[in-house]
């Protein structure tokens, strides 16, 4: 029967016998030799003592040579192999150490210290199944003792190693049991509570995981990894306000930890703080430039902030490294679509559609690419295909309505838009589009009803109010027309059409003075708009001439633009560039300063 000795408590340390004891064991297990056995024993004894002294003095290379001599002289003695293994372990040469421990165990089957060291070595090299066989043997031996308490019989390091092997092969409940023994063996170890919490997290036992991480932090408030693990679990539970301070502290305590920076970025993103999220993801990538998750998270944050063009090279990098990454492929397709590159986007969007044939968003994006390419028939077909799997999807019905409208199939478009409006009564878009369609058909009452409802649902729409005002004027509903047009002017006072239409309505109501005032405002705004358009044309001409080296002609065009619209910053900037080419640096600086002031001032 196996016995559990006290030496099992000191794992991976030298377990050396005395030189005299080694000699006596060697004498009892003699092997044929040309030398007298006594000489061999004495030589082995001297080598063993020398190895012990060298190991004690951390001269591991010398100790290795001495213990290799012992093994060569008396290979039948297990202590020689264990001594050599202990030195090899300290040198980080695990495979060689395992070989020696296996030889020692073969010579002394059932020896608990040898089994323990070999099991831990197996775990460290990833041979978890071999490790578990030995750990189970050790556990069985402990259970046969008068006090079968693993937390007292084995050190926490052994129990932790056992737990890691169990977790590695998917036996998480058993791993948790071993970690509980480990915590009981060392109740003041923050590392062990963190490891136990991590196992609970693998089980998605979030409440127990949080409790263990908090215990670790209580023992060591500056334990960065425990703060990281706690924050990550809280984030997984969508407890973003609680997760943010933990992840922020983890990143502060471990500023060079790429995972901490990544998880902090995810928390900021979940809290709708994309500017901070982008900075955190960029920091994570500085620490680990090949971190795929950080690259992807940064790309998504850039997309959310209308920087799809900046996201594209990041997404291409991910897709190039992992062509099967469907999420990255879908994001790349969408980014290309948003930047107007539907042709390049379509293969990625089609691939996503093939991978997720029932996904509504995949159909929406692929259809949008066809619409951008003006392939209306294919867009409608993709949307109809999506509706087979998602018959109650608002966006698919609405997008199909738009596609049919573009195809001039207004009757079918109206039907789809009406379905969309019923599916999402709070959405203003279907009502607005229906209103425009009904206007085209001359169905003014229906158009007024839909446009009015659209404005109630989304009142911040100056163009919508102007359209509704014009419609009411056609319907001879002058008070309603005046109200709608005044709201359009309130939101966009610089639009001449609203003033001019309101002037017509007021004149029809007999309000000549106010009508004249609105007409004057509209005319003035039209003049300003036309002058601005002329200034844009002249500026574009000036830039073209400047590129050709025709500096004098370019200056003339820029000056014409400024005459038409003195507040057009681009004309001043173009003139500054031209004057600088003539060597007139002071005049150029004055024009450039004027351009900067105009760009900064509210228009």
pLDDT at 408 over 80: yes
pTM value is 0.70
Over residues 260-284, the mean pLDDT reads: 96
Tokens encoding 502: 């309101």
DSSP 8-state assignment for residue 10: S
- Count CB neighbours of 476 within 10 A: 9
Query: What is d(CA 117, CA 89) in angstroms, rounded to the nearest whole number?
Result: 10
Over residues 570-590, the mean pLDDT reads: 92
Query: What is d(CA 461, CA 360) in angstroms, rounded to the nearest whole number?
Result: 28
Over residues 202-214, the mean pLDDT reads: 96
Per-residue pLDDT tens over the stretch 411-434: 999 999 999 999 999 999 999 999
Query: What is d(CA 580, CA 492) in angstroms, rounded to the nearest whole number?
Result: 38
Query: What is d(CA 168, CA 165) in angstroms, rounded to the nearest whole number?
Result: 5
Q: Which of 7-16, 252-261, 267-276, 368-377 has the lowest mean pLDDT?
A: 7-16
pLDDT at 146 over 90: no
Tokens encoding 217: 């932090």
Question: Three-state DSSP class for 390?
Answer: coil
Measured over the CA atoms of residue 358, residue 359, residue 360 and residue 362, the dihedral's sign is negative
Per-residue pLDDT tens over the stretch 520-567: 999 999 998 899 999 999 999 999 999 999 999 999 999 999 999 999
Per-residue pLDDT tens over the stretch 274-329: 999 999 999 999 999 999 999 999 999 999 999 999 999 999 999 998 988 889 99
2 pLDDT tier (thresholds 50, 70, 90): very low
38 pLDDT tier (thresholds 50, 70, 90): confident
pLDDT at 60 over 60: yes
pLDDT computed for residue 154 by the predictor: 83
pLDDT computed for residue 22 by the predictor: 56
Question: Three-state DSSP class for 3?
Answer: coil
pLDDT computed for residue 592 by the predictor: 92
Question: Three-state DSSP class for 15?
Answer: coil
pLDDT computed for residue 12 by the predictor: 37
Query: What is d(CA 463, CA 503) in angstroms, rounded to the nearest whole number?
Result: 17
- Count CB neighbours of 515 within 10 A: 18
Query: What is d(CA 462, CA 577) in angstroms, rounded to the nearest whole number?
Result: 37
Q: Tokens 């306000």 identify what position?
A: 241
DSSP string, 329-340: HHHHHHHHHHTT
Q: Say what percent of the chain tops pLDDT 90.
A: 84
- Name every residue whose Cβ is closer than 8 Å to that of residue 315 and which is 6 or more positions away in sequence: 296, 299, 328, 331, 332, 335
Q: With contact defined as beta carbons under 8 Å apart, do 48 and 67 qualify?
A: yes
Q: Which of 407, 409, 431, 408 is nearest to 420 (CA)?
A: 431
Per-residue pLDDT tens over the stretch 218-255: 999 999 999 999 999 999 999 999 999 999 999 999 99
- Count CB neighbours of 236 within 10 A: 14
Q: 583 — phi, psi (to 5°)?
A: 85, 5
Over residues 205-229, the mean pLDDT reads: 97
pLDDT at 26 over 90: no
pLDDT at 33 over 70: no
Is the model more confident about 14 or about 258?
A: 258
Q: Which of 211, 156, 212 is nearest to 181 (CA)?
A: 156
145 pLDDT tier (thresholds 50, 70, 90): confident
Say if residue 22 is exposed, middle or buried (CB neighbours under 10 Å; 0-12, 13-18, 19+): buried
**Domains with residue ranges and CATH for the chain:** 1-125 (1.25.40.10), 517-603 (1.25.40.10)
pLDDT computed for residue 11 by the predictor: 37
Mean pLDDT of the chain: 91
> b vs e for 449-467, b when ≥16 Cβ sit within 10 Å of the residue's Cβ?
ebbbbbbebeeebbebbbb
pLDDT at 4 over 50: no
Per-residue pLDDT tens over the stretch 456-483: 999 999 999 999 999 999 999 999 999 9
Per-residue pLDDT tens over the stretch 97-135: 999 999 999 999 989 999 999 999 999 999 999 999 999
């Amino acid at each position: 029967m196996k016995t559990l000795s006290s030496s099992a408590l000191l794992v991976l340390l030298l377990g050396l016998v005395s030189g005299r004891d080694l000699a006596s064991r060697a004498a009892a297990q003699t092997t044929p030799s040309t030398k007298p056995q006594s000489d061999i024993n004495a030589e082995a004894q001297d080598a063993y003592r020398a190895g012990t002294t060298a190991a004690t003095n951390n001269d591991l290379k010398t100790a290795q040579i001495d213990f290799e001599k012992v093994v060569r002289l008396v290979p039948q003695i297990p202590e020689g192999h264990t001594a050599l293994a202990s030195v090899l372990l300290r040198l980080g040469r695990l495979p060689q150490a395992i070989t020696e421990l296996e030889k020692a165990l073969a010579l002394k089957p059932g020896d608990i210290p040898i089994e323990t060291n070999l099991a831990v070595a197996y775990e460290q090299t990833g041979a978890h199944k071999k490790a578990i066989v030995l750990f189970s043997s050790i556990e069985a031996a402990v259970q046969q003792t008068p006090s079968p308490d693993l937390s007292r019989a084995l050190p926490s390091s052994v129990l932790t190693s056992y737990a890691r092997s169990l977790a590695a092969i998917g036996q998480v409940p058993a791993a948790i049991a071993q970690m509980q023994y480990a915590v009981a063996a060392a109740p003041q170890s923050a590392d062990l509570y963190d490891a136990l919490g991590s196992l609970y997290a693998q089980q998605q036992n979030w409440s127990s995981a949080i409790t263990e991480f908090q215990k670790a932090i209580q023992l060591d408030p500056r334990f960065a990894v425990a703060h990281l693990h706690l924050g990550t679990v809280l984030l997984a539970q969508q407890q973003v306000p609680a997760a943010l301070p933990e992840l922020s502290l983890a990143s502060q305590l471990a500023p060079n930890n790429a995972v901490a920076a990544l998880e902090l970025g995810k928390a900021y993103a979940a809290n709708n703080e994309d500017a901070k999220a982008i900075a955190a993801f960029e920091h994570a990538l500085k620490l680990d430039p090949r971190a795929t998750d950080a690259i992807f998270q940064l790309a998504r944050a850039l997309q959310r902030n209308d920087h799809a063009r900046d996201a594209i090279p990041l997404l291409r990098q991910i897709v190039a490294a992992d062509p099967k990454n469907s999420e990255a492929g879908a994001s790349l397709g969408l980014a290309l679509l948003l930047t107007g590159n539907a042709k390049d986007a379509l293969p990625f969007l089609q691939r996503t559609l093939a991978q997720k044939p029932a996904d509504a968003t995949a159909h929406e994006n692929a259809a949008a690419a066809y619409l951008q390419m003006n392939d209306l028939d294919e867009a409608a077909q993709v949307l109809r295909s999506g509706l087979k799997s998602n018959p109650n999807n608002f966006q698919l019905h609405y997008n199909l309505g738009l596609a049919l409208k573009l195809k001039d199939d207004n009757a079918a478009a109206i039907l789809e838009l009406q379905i969309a409006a019923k599916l999402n009564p709070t959405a203003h878009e279907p009502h607005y589009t229906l209103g425009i369609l009904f206007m085209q058909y001359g169905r003014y009452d229906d158009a007024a009803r839909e446009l009015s409802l659209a404005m109630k649902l989304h009142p911040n729409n100056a163009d919508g109010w102007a359209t509704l005002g014009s419609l009411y004027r056609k319907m001879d509903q002058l008070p309603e027309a005046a109200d709608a047009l005044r709201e359009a002017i309130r939101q966009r006072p610089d639009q001449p059409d609203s003033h001019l239409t309101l002037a017509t309505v007021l004149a029809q109501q007999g309000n000549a003075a106010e009508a004249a005032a609105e007409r004057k405002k509209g005319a003035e705004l039209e003049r300003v708009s036309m002058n601005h358009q002329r200034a844009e044309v002249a500026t574009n001409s000036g830039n073209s001439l400047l590129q050709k080296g025709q500096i004098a002609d370019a200056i003339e065009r820029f000056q014409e633009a400024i005459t038409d619209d003195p507040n057009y910053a681009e004309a001043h900037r173009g003139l500054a560039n031209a004057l600088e080419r003539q060597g007139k640096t002071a005049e150029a600086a004055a024009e450039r300063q004027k351009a900067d002031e105009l760009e900064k001032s509210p228009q």
